[in-house]
């Protein structure tokens, strides 16, 4: 199963078109201005200026994180996806101009990295653990492939190929080469993209080397530390355990998902790609084991991953605190990338279900409605008065920020939203199966049996589960349309040209497959009833004992103080309450469904506020509560927020 090319997918969806328009008209220009330090009052970037220094065009000192280059790379990748949607002369001029700077900054041997060119030119490839050279190179390669595919211009692809050629000359098991790998996985999946764009197999083999060498004994990072001590090189970060780098064991011997969450999902994405390219069953089983561990024991209901702010990492099974959560936006982006790659390996809805869960909740919460403010961390419970007073909450923000000194998340969520079209569909050519993974209004073109087939998808998802598909083709053509029936949906109906389809025996790993000869004008209507679902968690998740969460369709809901009251954890709700769905445009201009319901709160008059502890039974009073989609929180005034609500018996 392969994705349908992004240039063959046009999103025409009321919900998602606003985000695509925002990316094109506001976010990409806004982030470009930040990278050029043109917006007063926003965290300094100096990213473009660093490249000019590396090119020898200006003098100065490197500024920013050691991986500052990746901010530009992700911006360029996002710009490429925008150019795939439509031509934009100004954007293309910006991109071409910065590519010229990259070409001048690239060293004669192909090396390209501003930190180690400007700040530590004698220490290239001597700090793979923390230096992020391969990480930055990976993002630049991804940007290069995306720009080449969008415009057909090959200059940046040549730059990327020279980078990869230089790495291939440096790394490997051959005598005289470094048997190292990156401390932050990214180069692995990027090299696979470069291989697919150039058909140069050495890039695929280099990716395979990086993955297979990782975690072997003696561990390269331990040896590297010894060599750095010999030359008196400074450490870029405090020492960390090997599992932080997901380098504690060979990838096929890992039992649980460990370490830095973003590093992990980028690595697992590459493992899935390699399993597909080499038909490697050991890699497939290893990456499936990681998936099962995360989804069944280490994932938040929003799809967020990484439960500890210390080292931004996984901890242990069922450790999912709601207020001290990390759930980095970048981790959600990487999780979606990984989920789609798992779909390419196995046509199973469980991967698409998670992809959807993360997309509408843990990822989309990372960006404000105007596209110019961002969350790095995505908590499920916030009390603003505690922030700044507790060390274990130092990383949590009650409001999205305009930018960050470590600004990995803003351009990452932008590139996800700009490339959304590539996650909606895929096609299995051997079986002539056209899969629909996400219900997003769109039009696609796919060649089937030598002719161009057009599918037009319409609907009002995620607020309404009535979805329509219309087929356009020059002549009758036989193929299978495979529609995902989400796990959250306990019933569904489907008609083809108005006639109901019997579906009892048609579900294949969660996909409803309609095999027939299709004619132009054929129409499919799928109805997925959306009921409010009251969810509980495994009691081993200590923070959620005695609590429920509210979901409808793919949307997770939360309480905000502005709609309810102070001290949200005091609000209780019965699972048997009648939840009213209210369509309103008070938060989202095009409208969203909120939930209104009867709840209970403590009668403050029955308490002695001067007593901290007491024996008196607490009196509870009725209260009208309101919940909004989680991704919309913090778009009004600051205040408390809560996903898991006390269950009132």
Nearest one of 190, 196, 161 to 277, comparing CA atoms: 196
CA distance 248 to 215: 5
End-to-end CA distance of the chain: 48
- A 10 A CB-CB count for 38 gives 12
CA distance 251 to 260: 15
Among positive and negative, which fits the CA dihedral 333, 90, 368, 66?
Answer: positive
DSSP characters over 119-188 = I-GGGTTS-TTTS-HHHHHHHHHHHHHHHHHHH---HHHHHHHHHHHHHHHHBSSSTTSB----SS--HH
Domains within the chain, CATH numbers bracketed: 46-241 (no CATH), 250-422 (no CATH), 425-527 (2.60.40), 532-647 (no CATH)
CA distance 158 to 292: 39
Q: Which residues contact 52 (CB under 8 A, 6 or more apart)?
A: 58, 101, 105
Q: How far is CA 69 from CA 16, 64, 258, in A?
A: 29, 9, 26
pLDDT attached to residue 605: 78
pLDDT averaged per 10 residues, the chain (length 649): 93 95 96 96 95 98 97 98 96 98 98 98 96 98 99 98 99 97 98 98 99 97 92 82 97 98 99 98 98 99 96 96 97 98 97 99 98 96 94 93 91 97 97 98 96 97 98 97 96 95 80 96 98 98 98 99 97 97 94 98 82 88 98 97 97
Token pair belonging to 296: 């069944």
DSSP state of 216: P
**3-state SS class at 97:** helix
Q: In terms of residues, how long is the chain? A: 649
Report yes or no: 136 and 163 within 8 Å, Cβ to Cβ: no
Q: Residue by residue, what is the 3-state secondary structure of 416-478?
A: HHHCHHHHCEEEECCCCEEEECCCCCEEEEEEECCEEEEEEEEECCCCCCEEEEEEEECCCEE
Report yes or no: 251 and 267 within 8 Å, Cβ to Cβ: yes
Burial 145-178 (b: 16+ CB within 10 A, else e): bbbbbbbeeebbbebbbbbbbbbbebbbeeeeee
CA distance 392 to 408: 22
Longest CA–CA separation in the chain, Å:
80
DSSP characters over 241-284 = -GGGGT-SS-GGG--S--SBHHHHHHHHHHHHHHHHHHT-HHHH
CA distance 245 to 240: 8
pLDDT attached to residue 366: 98
- A 10 A CB-CB count for 263 gives 25
Report yes or no: 607 and 621 within 8 Å, Cβ to Cβ: no
- A 10 A CB-CB count for 520 gives 14
Report yes or no: 342 and 323 within 8 Å, Cβ to Cβ: no
Q: Torsions phi, psi of 314, nearest 5?
A: -70, 155
Does 558 qualify as catalytic in the annotation? no
Nearest one of 463, 548, 462, 479 to 519, comparing CA atoms: 479
Among positive and negative, which fits the CA dihedral 392, 394, 400, 404?
Answer: negative
CA distance 609 to 616: 12
pLDDT attached to residue 103: 99
Among residues 408, 409, 558, 560, which one is catalytic? 408
Q: Are strands 523-527 and 2-3 parallel, antiparallel or unpaired?
A: unpaired
Report yes or no: 320 and 307 within 8 Å, Cβ to Cβ: yes
Neighbouring C-alpha atoms within 13 Å toward the C-beta of 344: 22
Neighbouring C-alpha atoms within 13 Å toward the C-beta of 605: 1
Residue matched to tokens 């939360």: 558
Among residues 312, 381, 525, 560, which one is catalytic? 312
Does 408 qualify as catalytic in the annotation? yes
Question: Whole-prediction pTM value?
Answer: 0.97
DSSP state of 237: S
Report yes or no: 646 and 629 within 8 Å, Cβ to Cβ: no
Burial 386-407 (b: 16+ CB within 10 A, else e): ebeeeeebebbbbebbebbeeb
Q: Which residues contact 576 (CB under 8 A, 6 or more apart)?
A: none
Q: Which residues contact 147 (CB under 8 A, 6 or more apart)?
A: 76, 77, 79, 80, 83, 95, 99, 153, 156, 157
């Amino acid at each position: 199963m392969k994705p349908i090319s992004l240039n063959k997918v046009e999103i025409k969806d009321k919900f998602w078109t606003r985000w695509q328009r925002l990316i094109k008209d506001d976010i990409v220009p806004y982030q470009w201005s930040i990278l050029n330090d043109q917006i007063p009052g926003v965290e300094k970037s100096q990213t473009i200026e660093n490249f000019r220094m590396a090119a020898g065009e200006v003098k100065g000192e490197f500024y920013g994180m050691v991986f500052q280059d990746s901010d530009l790379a992700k911006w360029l990748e996002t710009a490429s996806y925008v150019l795939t949607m439509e031509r934009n002369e100004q954007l293309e001029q910006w991109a071409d101009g910065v590519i010229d700077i990259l070409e001048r900054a690239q060293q004669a041997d192909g090396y390209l990295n501003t930190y180690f060119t400007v700040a530590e030119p004698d220490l290239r490839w001597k700090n793979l653990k923390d230096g992020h050279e391969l990480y930055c190179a990976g993002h630049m390669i991804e940007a290069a492939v995306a720009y080449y595919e969008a415009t057909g211009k090959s200059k940046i692809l040549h730059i990327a190929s020279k980078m990869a050629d230089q790495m291939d000359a440096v790394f490997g098991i051959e005598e005289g080469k470094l048997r190292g790998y990156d401390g932050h996985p990214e180069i692995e999946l990027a090299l696979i993209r470069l291989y697919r764009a150039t058909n140069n197999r050495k890039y695929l083999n280099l990716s395979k080397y990086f993955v297979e060498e990782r975690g072997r004994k003696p561990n390269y990072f331990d040896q590297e530390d010894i060599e750095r001590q010999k030359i008196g090189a400074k450490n870029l970060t405090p020492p960390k355990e090997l599992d932080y780098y997901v380098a504690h064991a060979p990838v096929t011997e890992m039992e649980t998902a460990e370490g830095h969450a973003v590093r992990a999902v980028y690595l697992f994405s590459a493992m899935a790609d390699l399993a597909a390219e080499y038909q490697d069953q050991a890699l497939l089983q290893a990456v499936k084991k990681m998936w099962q561990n995360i989804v069944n024991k280490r994932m938040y209901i929003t799809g967020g991953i990484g439960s500890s702010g210390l080292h931004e990492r996984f901890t242990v099974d069922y450790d999912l605190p709601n207020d001290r959560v990390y759930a980095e936006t970048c981790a959600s982006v990487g999780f979606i990338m990984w989920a789609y790659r798992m779909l390419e390996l196995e046509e199973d809805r469980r991967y698409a279900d998670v992809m959807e869960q993360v997309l509408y909740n843990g990822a989309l919460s990372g960006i404000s409605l105007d596209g110019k403010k961002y969350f790095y961390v995505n908590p499920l419970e916030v009390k603003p008065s505690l922030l700044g007073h507790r060390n274990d909450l130092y990383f949590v923000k009650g409001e999205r920020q305009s930018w960050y000194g470590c600004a990995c998340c803003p351009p990452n969520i932008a590139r996800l939203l700009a490339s959304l079209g590539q996650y909606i569909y895929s096609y299995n050519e051997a079986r002539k199966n056209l899969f629909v993974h996400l219900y997003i209004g769109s039009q696609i073109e796919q060649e089937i049996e030598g002719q161009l087939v057009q599918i037009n998808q319409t609907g009002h998802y995620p607020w309404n589960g009535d979805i329509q598909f219309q087929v356009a083709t020059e002549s009758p053509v036989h193929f299978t349309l495979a529609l995902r029936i989400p796990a959250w949906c306990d019933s569904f109906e489907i008609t083809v040209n108005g006639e109901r389809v019997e579906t009892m025996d048609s579900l294949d790993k969660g996909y409803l497959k309609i095999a027939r000869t299709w004619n132009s004008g054929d129409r499919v209507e799928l109805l997925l009833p959306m009921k409010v679902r009251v969810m509980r968690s495994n009691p081993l998740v200590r923070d959620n004992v005695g609590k429920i969460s509210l979901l409808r369709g793919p949307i997770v809901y939360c309480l905000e103080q502005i709609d309810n009251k102070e001290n949200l954890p005091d609000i209780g709700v019965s699972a048997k309450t009648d939840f009213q769905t209210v369509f309103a445009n008070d938060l989202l201009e095009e409208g969203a469904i909120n939930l209104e319901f009867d709840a209970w709160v403590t009668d403050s008059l029955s308490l002695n506020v001067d007593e901290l502890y007491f024996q008196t039974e607490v009196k509870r009073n009725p209260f009208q509560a309101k919940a909004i989609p989680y991704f919309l929180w913090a778009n009004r005034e600051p205040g408390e927020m809560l996903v898991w609500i006390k269950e009132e018996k």
